[in-house]
Amino acid sequence: MNKKIVVENTLTDVRSYFKDKGYDVRTMYKNSTLNDITTNDYDAIILEKDTLAELKTSSPIIEASGLSAEDIYKKLNNIK
């Protein structure tokens, strides 16, 4: 794993949690930067709610709705 993720800006607790775990966290603002993600260097893209936007990357999307930061971390580790 690259220990690099993209997290939606509204998920401040998730961003903090992953930074504390040593991840390089890129902030995404309300799907506006989603189309800018064109590299597969990210372990995951974490969104509050899944989007129907067409991605230019094969990085997995994790929907954070109803999950704690720890739940998301566990989910990410199950993906790899």
Q: What's the whole-number mean pLDDT along residues 23-37? A: 77
Task: Compute CA distances 59 → 24, 45, whole Å.
Answer: 15, 7
Q: What's the whole-number mean pLDDT along residues 39-58? A: 76
Q: Is pLDDT larger for residue 50 or for residue 22?
A: 22
pTM: 0.83
The model's confidence at residue 49, banded by pLDDT at 50, 70 and 90, is confident
Task: Compute CA distances 55 → 6, 20, 52, whole Å.
Answer: 13, 27, 9
Q: To the nearest whole percent, how much of the chain has pLDDT over 90? A: 50
CATH 3.40.50.11740 fits 4-79, yes or no: no
Provide φ and ψ at 78, rounded to 5°: -75, -20
DSSP tally for the chain: helices H, then strands E: 2, 4
